[in-house]
Every structure is written in structure tokens, then in C-alpha cells.
Structure 1
Amino acid sequence: MKIVELRLCNFRNFKEQQFFFGDINVIFGKNAQGKTNILEAIYYLCNFRPVKTTKEIEIINFDSDFSYIKGIFEDNGDLIDREIYLTRDGTKKIKEMGFEIKKVKDISNRIRTIFFSPDNLSLVKGSPSVRRRFFDSLISEIKPAYYNYLKDYFRVLMQKNKLIKNKDAKFFYNRELIEVFNDKIIDFSSVIVKMRLAFLKKFIPFVNEFYADFSGNDTLIDLKYNSPIAEVGEFSIDEIKLKMKEEIKRGYQGPHTDDYIFLSGGREVKRYGSQGEIRTLVLSMIFSRGKIIYEYAGKMPIILLDDVLYELDYNRRQNLLKNDYGQLFITATDIKNLPGEILKRASLIGLPKEG
């Protein structure tokens, strides 16, 4: 799957612009010229939501009342035409092949993308909640049942917390009902933890494969699931439930507090890794996500890399760009430091663009 043409009208800083793409695309120019906006437009067409804002109308050009985006995608020789029209009053229309789409979920996973920006470094450097969101999102994408367990878990957890905080004594002291909630929480938690551990076994070999490609060395990355019940991977669900019950009595709150810790040579990357090592690790995670999606869906996602070359040395840049991962987009302020062989293969898009 790849995008071959993009038309923007009143999108961010672009009043009227058209772009054509190849397999490797390098978008270059000075800051504030719209490099990231092109990547965001592609992401928006595929996911129907902006990358960095919850207010969709912010993508509309300041001097306009509407924004229009059109992309033509190619899938094994077949062309897919997709359009999005958005107005300042919040009206949003999506069309595919000329037909208006009423339910986005019907086409939401047809064209997949992965977006990298410097903000993604928080996958290693940030709080546990950032890592949980990353893995919860990815596992849910390939195992929809996981999303349902997660949704049910948080629903029951919220109900229990609401009950405990209720000032009405007859509810507050209803220990029987609290125990019912606890049993449900244990049921859902046990499945969630087991599915997470099973997924990590599949994920970490991909991370090491890409890390070796990008770094050019044989350093192995280890991924530790940080939880009081992390050792239950081979346990049955019933055994996990017993362990979960014991740990909850000791104060364990549940899988919504667990963490993922990356180690290199036995040392925690978050604390001791260099900027280059952290960036290489995050890139390896992003590309591993793409590989797993490919195994699941049979199609490589479009990979959008914003400002990825910053703080990567020449060898890491070369190793990143020499491999074939499907359609690739990269932004850069300067193309002088890109490998010559890549520049020969790439479609070069310089900004500002005339016309």
C-alpha cells in the first residue's frame, strides 16, 4: 500500500498544492515551510484524525473556512481515491471512490500508517502511561479481543472506584458488591497480563532485528515487563487469577499501573542510554510495529518519519535508509548528509514549492 498523489487545499500553511510520491520520499526545506504538515495530511487521510491536536479545525488554514484533502493510494495495482472535507463549524465529510462514508470504522484500517516524531522519544524517556498506550494500541490493533478486555477492565475499575468514593454509607460499606467488582477486575486483569506477555515474546525479536540494522552492532535489547505478576507468562489463566488475588491483597492496583522497561547490556536505557541509542531504539520499536502489522494485515503501513535524522550519526542514517520497509517518508532541513545512493532512489520534494 502506498500513496502516489496528494492534493491539499487550505490545509495548515498550504493554500493549494499538489504532490506526487514514490517509494522513498525526502521532504526538505527550512523550518516552518510545511514539511511536517505533508506527513500530517497523509496521516489524517489514513486515520481520520490529526496527529498533534484534538481540535480538528486547527488543520484549516487561518484565512479559510474549510479544508480539503485528497489522496490517491495504490494497492497492488488498484487505485483508491480518498477525500476529506472539513469546515470551521465542524462539518466533516469523508469520501472513498466518490462515495460518502458514513461509518469511519468500515474503512479505518484499510490504509495503515506509522508516524514518528521527536515526541515519540517519550516511549523510552517518558512516563509508564506512554509505554502502556503504545503497547495497548498495538496489541488491540492485531488482537481486537484485547481491546475489549481492556475496555471492560477500565469500566469495572471505574465503577468500583465510584462506589468506594460514594458518600452514601449504605453503598460505601457494601463489601459484597466491592468483592464482586474485585472478582471481575481479577478476571479481566489476568487475561490482559497474559496477552501482554505473549505479545512481548513476539515483539522483542523484531526490535533487536531492526536495532542491529540501524545501529550496525550486535547489542541486544531486552524488554522487562515490570509488574508483581510478571513471571506468570506460562501460567494458566486460573493460576494467574490466584497470583493476581494475592498481589491485590498486598496493594497491587492492576495492569493499568504496570510498566515496560528497556535494557541494553543489563542497564536501563531510559537512565543510561545516549540520545542516539534512545532514538535508535524508538525507531526500532516503530518499525517493529510496522512489521507486526504487516504480518497481521499482509500490507506494510506507510511510514512517516519526521525529523528522524537529528542526532543520528552518518552510519545510523545510512543503515536506516538503505533497507526496504515499504513506502517511506522522511523530512529533513538539509539533504547534504543523506547517502548518495538514497538520493538517487528517492523522490525529492523541496519546500517552499512553487505553484
Structure 2
Amino acid sequence: MHLKNIKLNQFKNYKQERAVFSKEINCFLGMNGSGKTNLLDAIHYLCFTRSAFNSIDSQNILHNESFFTIAGEFDREGKDLELRCIFEAGKKKQLVLAGKAYEKMSDHIGQFPVVMIAPDDIQLIKGGSEDRRKFVDSMLSQLDRNYLQSLVRYQHFLKQRNALLKQFAEGGRFDKELLEPYNIELISLSKVISQKRLEFIENFSPKFEHHYRVISDSKEAVSVGYESHCEPEGFEKVFRDSLHRDLALKRTNKGIHRDDFAFEIDGFPLKKYGSQGQQKSYLIALKLSQFQVLEEGMGVKPILLLDDIFDKLDDARIEKMVSLVADHQFGQLFITDARPERSKQILASIDSEKAFFRIDNGTIRAED
């Protein structure tokens, strides 16, 4: 699977641009702020129905315009498929594949798998639990449609229950019977989702530990653990016992939306005890493992987006990444870099089809 071309219309800082890609390595070169990352994000939009950086669609429209479109042509198993994403301010976003519009955006997830490695990924380690849940949920959602549907349903009922708790607080009255249908759904869905997450981490962990050893040449013991109070046994009591706290805080305090994933090194929290180098190695191992589980689960190599990665890694880690590329372990690859000479030098020894693009203030120009 690969993306053959892309057309941008009023997306971020692009007025109207088009690019034709190599099926192997594509490198976007240009100064910071020129639009390199925006082009990566357009690819992410096509694959995942949303931006990797800004979840508010209206903020991804070119200034002083009212809509954007992103169109791309994919080759999937030898068949050309055109995909178009259309968003107009004040209207519902549309996604059209081979001339047919999706009724639900979630139906598209997993059709064109993608993995992105970006500077902001350090939030997986340094940020809150929401970042880590999103990381795991993005993988599971691409691999398991039932999981995605359960997650969407959970988020819907959670929003409704929280609105009801707020209504009780503001109205000075409590209706147990009105709340009960939401309790039942959230308890049931929490059990299902937590079990899926646990099974996934058990499969993911050995792959992650292997990649960490390869990248770091280190003897440190690393692990990814799952922290949840939603195990099937006893969770219903935990959830119901939290009612008084829920009413006081006007939100639901127990459920899979409170889960976290423990990133540890030698048995200690990576966030507190890991060096900068160890954290970088850990992060790359997470992403390479993400690529591997998606490839194994879907039978196709995901598109790999590397944003400004050469600036954030030392020479040893860059060498490890390049060796993986040289061994053709990845499929189609997109890289951004503010230093053209560096990218061309790093990629020169790799026997793959390469395409270089000069990005300049929202324009795209192919280079030799």
C-alpha cells in the first residue's frame, strides 16, 4: 500500500498544491514554518480522518477561507483508490472513498494504517494518562473495529452521564432511575475495553522490549504495564461506590477513561528516572512496535511519517533508524528536515527509490 499523490486546497498554509510521491522514500525539505509538517498532517488526515496536531477541524482551514479539501490517490493491492476529505466551516466533515461518502468517520479507521513519529511524542512519556490512552487506542482502533465501536459508545455514554451529573448538581435534585441506564452501559463497556487493552499490552510488550534492546544496545530492563481499576471482577462495586464523589465533582470518576499505561525502566517510572537518551530510545521503541503490530495485524506495512526526527536524535539512534530503512523493514516513508544536505547525505547510501520536495511558504516543488 502507498500514497501515489496528494492535492491540497486551502489546507493550513497551502492555497492549492499538488505532489506526486515515490512509493518508497519521500523527503520534505525547507525552513521551519514553511509547511513541511502541515504536509505530513494532510497525509495523516487522509489515513486517520483527523489532524495529528489539532483536533479542531475549523482551525486547519487556510486563514480567511471557509473550507479545505485534501485528496489523495492510494495504491492498495494494485488497485487505485481516490480518497477525499472535505471540511466546510459550520458543516459536517465528509470523507469520500472511491466516490462513496462514509456515513461514519469511524468506518474509515484502519483502511490505510499510518504511524507518525513527531517531536510532540515526548508527551507520551512526560504528559498525562490521556496521551498514553490515545496512543494505545489509536492502535487498537485500527486493528479491531469492535473495539473502536465500543470506545465510541463508551465516550457517548460518558458524556451523557456527566451532563446528567451536572444537571443534578445545578437543579438540586437526584434521580437514581434516570442515571441507571448510563451506569449499566459504562460498567459493561469498561469491562470489555479494559480486557481488550490488557490483551493488547500482553502482545505488544515483547515486541517493544526487543526494539528497545536493538535501538539502545542497552542492558536496562524496560516494560509497559497496564493500570486499570476496571477488571471484570469487582469493578461494578467500585463504580457504584463512587457515586457520592461523582455527584460532588459532577463527573464520572471510575471507568476506562481513567486508565493509564506504566512506562518503566529497571522497575522505576521512566518519566522520573530515565535519562534523556533512555527516554528517546523508549519512545522510538514504542513507535517501531506500533508499526510492527499494525503490520502483523493488518497484513500491510503502514505509511510511516517522520517529522523532524534527525534534529531530535543523536547520531547513534539515527544510524539505527537508517539501518532499518536500508533493510526495507518499512513501506512508504515520509520525512521532514530543515537541513537538506543532511537528509540527502543520510539517505544517499540507501538503495531505495527516493523523492525530494522543496517546501517554501506553502508551495511544493519536486527536486532532483
Q: Report the TM-score when normalising by structure 2.
A: 0.78
Helix, strand or coil for the counterpart of 2:75? strand
Unaligned runs of 5+ in 2: 246-252
The answer to whether the 8 Å contact 2:141/2:148 transfers is yes
Q: How does 1:161-176 map to 2 (within 5 A)?
A: 162=164, 166=168, 171=174, 174=176
Helix, strand or coil for the counterpart of 1:309? helix
Larger CA deviation: 146-155 vs 323-332:
146-155
Which residue number corresponds to residue 217 of structure 1?
218
Which residue number corresponds to residue 307 of structure 1?
308
How many Å apart are 1:184 and its aligned residue?
5.9
Q: Which amino acid aligns with 1:14?
A: Y
Residue 351 of structure 2 is aligned to residue 351 of structure 1: no
The answer to whether the 8 Å contact 1:276/1:311 transfers is no
CA 1:145–1:84 in structure 2 vs 1: closer, same or farther (change >3 Å)?
closer
Q: How does 1:201-240 map to 2 (within 5 A)?
A: 201-227=202-228, 240=232
Which residue number corresponds to residue 334 of structure 1?
339
How many Å apart are 1:147 and its aligned residue?
3.9
Which residue number corresponds to residue 320 of structure 1?
321
Q: How does 1:9-20 map to 2 (within 5 A)?
A: 9-20=9-20
Which residue number corresponds to residue 7 of structure 2?
7
Distance 2:8 2:152 in 1: 36
The answer to whether the 8 Å contact 1:8/1:70 transfers is yes
Q: Which amino acid aligns with 2:347?
A: I
Which residue number corresponds to residue 288 of structure 1?
289
Larger CA deviation: 242-251 vs 56-65:
242-251
CA 1:339–1:159 in structure 2 vs 1: closer, same or farther (change >3 Å)?
closer
Larger CA deviation: 314-323 vs 60-69:
60-69
Unaligned runs of 5+ in 1: 233-239
Q: Which amino acid aligns with 1:139?
A: L
Distance 1:258 1:81 in 2: 38
The answer to whether the 8 Å contact 2:119/2:312 transfers is no
- Cα deviation, 1:107-146, whole Å, max 9, x if unaligned, reads 4432222223222211111111221222233223323333
Identity rate, percent: 28
The answer to whether the 8 Å contact 2:109/2:142 transfers is no
Say how many residue pairs are matched: 343
Q: Which amino acid aligns with 1:4?
A: K
Larger CA deviation: 294-303 vs 184-193:
184-193
Distance 2:223 2:217 in 1: 17
The answer to whether the 8 Å contact 1:44/1:51 transfers is yes
The answer to whether the 8 Å contact 2:110/2:143 transfers is no
Distance 2:198 2:100 in 1: 41
* Root-mean-square deviation over aligned CA pairs: 3.5
Helix, strand or coil for the counterpart of 2:295? helix
The answer to whether the 8 Å contact 2:212/2:282 transfers is yes
How many Å apart are 1:284 and its aligned residue?
2.2
- Cα deviation, 1:160-215, whole Å, max 9, x if unaligned, reads 6636972678745x5x8878876665544333333222111101112123223333
Which residue number corresponds to residue 236 of structure 1?
none
